[in-house]
Chain A
Amino acid sequence: MTDGQALGLRDKEIAPSASMAPARSYAAQVLRDAASIWGARLGLIWIVMLAFVAVFAPLLANSHPLLLSEHGDISSPMLAYLTPADVTLLVSFCIGLLVMLVPLRARTRLIAIMVTLATVGGLSLVYVTPSPLAVYSDYRIKQQTGAYDWVVRASVPYSPKDYLRDYGDAGLEAPLEAARRTHWMGTEENGADVLSRMIYASRIALGIGLVATGIAMFIGIILGGLMGYFSGRVDMIGMRLVEIFEAVPTLFLLLTLVAFFGRSLYLMMVIIGITGWPGYARYVRAEFLKLRQQEFVQAAIAFGLPLRSILFRHMLPNGVGPILVNASFGVASAILAEAVLSFLGLGLVDDPSWGQMLNQAVQSSTFNWWMALFPGGAIFFTVFAYNLIGEALRDAIDPHLKKDQPET
């Protein structure tokens, strides 16, 4: 035990010298290089915007007024009806912003954000209990009859599942064509506001993209790392496993898993994650096969460092380039996978997602362009953004490109 601790200490002393002269790590350098390409910047802007919309969705689109005064009593129905997911996202975002502003090491930051997410998520699941019954039309009726002194409404005053029952048979409406209301992107067949549904669906797309890719990366890095480090027999068995998973068309495996295991959001994240790992395993393996011959790895082995430390503290940071590239493309394909599943009618049942909205557009008897174009466009822009970032990262890690740059 003491041996291990002593080695751990020494391990820390070795780490800086192993990563050579530049103070920034390889990963930070690659990220900086990529961010200097305009395509990646545009993509990043779009994704940050989307993340902002996803976090502040209840403030942006909500049938519950943000603030209202009734007979002098000021109350906020919006706050009262926040769901645990809303609270978790909002609180974690604020704490995350704080953590980013305080100068800390990247790893400490990551751990801090993870811990906050977990604790806030757990606490809000227990303590935040919104009243289940929400009659959206009450607010509108009261507002019209003048029961409120003043009301502050969200900029899109409709919840995603507010079917506008109080407006009678409010069915399909083209954008900006409804009589007494403004729907910037029209309404769907049941009368719900399309823009509001789009805003809430962005949460599902971003969440699935990040979590599924995280899971796939986790499995892929561990398996690929072991395969590359040990090579030989472990490698052979591992590669057979990779081949098996790659020979089943991923979409088909996804279909089977989703159809047989039900349709919860979290399950879908896990399923998309566990079908996506072979690609990462392949790249990490190739990278580690190269690295294990190098002197700094041999030195780490000679020091008798534990396997975990050799693999993840010494080898992984030096082979992180291809993983970053793949993660970016992976997020894009995870978002597409969710959209495809929802489109085929195997997605989430009650919550709107972009793919499901596209499916809705197909199911209706006439073609309504706003029902197909907006969600489809959102999928396109998000996938394109991640692909642009991936492309920029690939250019950033490409040694040929760097060498050739002065020529062109």
Chain B
Amino acid sequence: MHTYILRRLVLMVPTLFGITLIVFAVMAAAPGGISAQSLIQGQNLEPGAKKAMEDYYNRLYGLDQPVPVQYLRWLNNISPAGFTFDANNEINGFSLSKGSDLGTSFYYNRPVLDLVAERLPITLLLNVLSLPIIYVIAITIGVRAATERGKRFDTTSGVVLLGFWSVPTMLTGVLMIAFLASDQYWRWFPTAGINERAALEMPFMPHWSATSDVLMLVSLSIAGAVLMVALSRKGGKAVRAVPFGALGAVLGVLMAGDVARAGVSLVHVLLGAGVGGLFVLIGRADYELPRTAAMGLVGFGVGVGLAAALARGAFVRGFLLDSLWHLVLPVICLSYTSFAFLSKLTRAAVLENLLADYARTARAKGVSESDVLWRHVFRNSLLPLITASATLLPGLLAGSVIVETIFSIEGMGQLAVEAVKLRDRELVLSVTLVSGLLTLIGYLIADLCYAMADPRVSYD
């Protein structure tokens, strides 16, 4: 196993080499390219100072040298062992411990490593939060679609998810900010960033000044959730749909009250009917697992809302809740496009295994259908999903470019856009290097998980 990991890590080097070579070639071949003149243009400098600056940049990055030499110098800079240079830019020795240096950003005038270290965790946080959501939703839909192949659920979910996949992230992001975060409509969520400035000084966990508030919050939210879960599990179709739909209608009217203040208006009627109708649809759904989850979540939410409305004492949000509150919209934007791909994959894998001989044997032994599905078939269908996680990662990284731009989140994606717009050579190269490395590590982790999940696969 260790030799395998080692070999894969070594094989990454030529690929990374190729990636940076492509990006470097693009930048060098571009009209204008990157030269000391282009770096200081725009700054109003005396001729003498200008010359000094040019010399400084030339010495630092070797910008007056031919392009291949520049690339080799950059490689030498980032590799942990390599040649060292003296004050006149002549090679004066070879060192095994000179340490790798990603260089300094032209624009920010800060070490690139610092910038990346600052922003990478934010992008990773977004992606790590999105992945489980994508998997849970895609698997619940995909499994059901496979067991009901060719029936209504299968075809509708296929088309609807394909539709989700086709909605451009920009549109969703823009509409979400406009309707759910701006002053014009509902101000439920913040418009930008991943933290409020004030939240940085708050304690990590939320705090209440009155103990009664906490008790009320806990009891009301649990009561709401339990009530709804019980309704979903025990009630018949109509018994579920009617109270749940009524709850939806009330919530819709309350929601309309936030926007249209005066009396009863068209907005009240439309929103009441719309949300009520949606809730009736959820309540009537046959698929128990997501229905119970959705109804339980609504019950929990109503409980929390009631407790917040009745609370007397002061409440400090705390860093954790503040972050979560900021992350809701970006994570939704990042995750919904991947549902289609992954649920299609789940469906195909489950379908193949449902028709397999071992599943028939299990049924013949008298194993119940749900046990066949979840204990036998589902476990065997997990393998392609593990492989898919590797291909999902580049897509998520690309998605975070858009999401971070829309929601003004200072992550790697935004850094990438800024870097190419500012033609910041060191930054562009490093961001490419880091994102390429992340993708390759994703592939490696997927392969290792594959070996863990499937005892037949061994890398020794």
Contacts and interface: CB of A to CB of B under 8 A. Distances in A.
Interface in B1-43: 14-15, 18-19, 22-23, 26-27, 30-31
Nearest to A384: B166
19 contacts: A39-B159, A248-B435, A249-B439, A250-B394, A253-B23, A259-B420, A261-B26, A261-B30, A366-B184, A367-B182, A369-B178, A372-B171, A376-B170, A376-B175, A377-B171, A384-B163, A387-B162, A387-B165, A388-B162
B432 A252 contact: yes
Interface stretch (B98-106, B291-299, B399-407): B399-407
Given A244-B15, A257-B26, A358-B171, A252 B431 contact: yes
Nearest to A39: B159
A240 B15 CA distance: 7
Interface residues of B, number: 47
Interface of A: 39, 240-241, 243-253, 255-262, 332, 336, 339-340, 343-346, 355, 358, 361-362, 366-367, 369, 372-373, 376-377, 379-380, 383-384, 387-388, 391, 408
Given A369-B178, A380-B171, A387-B166, A248 B23 contact: yes
A53 B15 CA distance: 45
Given A251-B398, A355-B170, A362 B27 contact: no
Nearest to B163: A384
B423 interface: yes
Interface string B415-439: 0110011010000100110011001
B30 A362 contact: no
A240 B170 CA distance: 33
Contacts of A240: 14-15, 18
B406 A362 contact: yes
Interface class of chain B by DSSP: helix
B160 to A, nearest CB: 11
Given A248-B435, A256-B432, 17 more contacts: A39-B159, A240-B15, A243-B15, A252-B431, A256-B26, A256-B420, A260-B27, A260-B423, A340-B168, A344-B401, A345-B421, A366-B184, A367-B177, A376-B170, A379-B171, A383-B168, A388-B162
Contacts of B401: 249, 251-252, 255, 340, 344
Contact of A249 (B15, B149, B158, B397): B397
Which of A255, A384, A388, A408 is packed against the most chain B CB atoms within 10 Å? Answer: A255
Contacts of A249: 394, 397-398, 401, 435, 439
Contacts of A252: 397-398, 401, 416, 431-432, 435
B405 A344 contact: yes
A252 B165 CA distance: 20
Nearest to A377: B171
Contacts of B394: 246-247, 249-250
Contacts of A241: 18
A70 B18 CA distance: 66
Nearest to A359: B170
A354 B225 CA distance: 43
B22 A248 contact: yes
Contacts of B184: 366-367
B101 to A, nearest CB: 22
B177 to A, nearest CB: 8
The 10 closest A-B pairs by CB, nearest first: A376-B171, A260-B30, A384-B166, A259-B420, A367-B178, A408-B150, A244-B18, A251-B398, A383-B166, A343-B170
A384 B150 CA distance: 21
A204 to B, nearest CB: 15
Contacts of B23: 248, 253, 256
B398 to A, nearest CB: 4
B417 A344 contact: yes
Contact of A247 (B158, B167, B436): B436
A245 B431 CA distance: 15
B171 A260 contact: no
Contacts of A262: 31
A351 B138 CA distance: 39
B441 to A, nearest CB: 10
B328 interface: no
Nearest to B421: A259
B175 to A, nearest CB: 6
A361 B406 CA distance: 12
B402 A248 contact: no
B31 to A, nearest CB: 7
B170 A358 contact: yes
B141 interface: no
A274 to B, nearest CB: 11
A360 to B, nearest CB: 11
A255 B170 contact: no
A376 B168 contact: yes
Nearest to A362: B174
A346 B401 CA distance: 13
Contacts of A362: 174, 406
B112 interface: no
Interface string B138-181: 00000000000110000000110011011110110011011000
Nearest to B396: A249
Contacts of A345: 421
A248 B174 contact: no
Contact of A343 (B26, B167, B398, B402): B402
B134 interface: no
Nearest to B348: A400
A340 B172 CA distance: 13
Contact of B439 (A247, A256, A367): A247
A387 B167 CA distance: 11
A209 B319 CA distance: 45
B174 A376 contact: yes
B220 interface: no
B209 to A, nearest CB: 37
A333 B167 CA distance: 11
Contact of A379 (B26, B168, B398): B168
A49 B167 CA distance: 20
Which of B15, B166, B423: most chain A Cβ within 10 A? B166
A336 B436 contact: no
A127 B445 CA distance: 60
A251 B177 CA distance: 23
Contacts of B229: none
Nearest to B169: A340
Contacts of B177: 367
B440 interface: yes
Nearest to A366: B184
Interface centre among B30, B170, B428 (most CB of A within 10 A): B170
B435 A380 contact: no
A115 B416 CA distance: 42
B191 to A, nearest CB: 11
B162 A391 contact: yes
A344 B401 CA distance: 9
B81 to A, nearest CB: 24
A72 B100 CA distance: 81
A260 B26 contact: yes
A252 B19 CA distance: 11
Nearest to B435: A249
Nearest to A386: B166
A343 B158 CA distance: 28
B436 A248 contact: yes
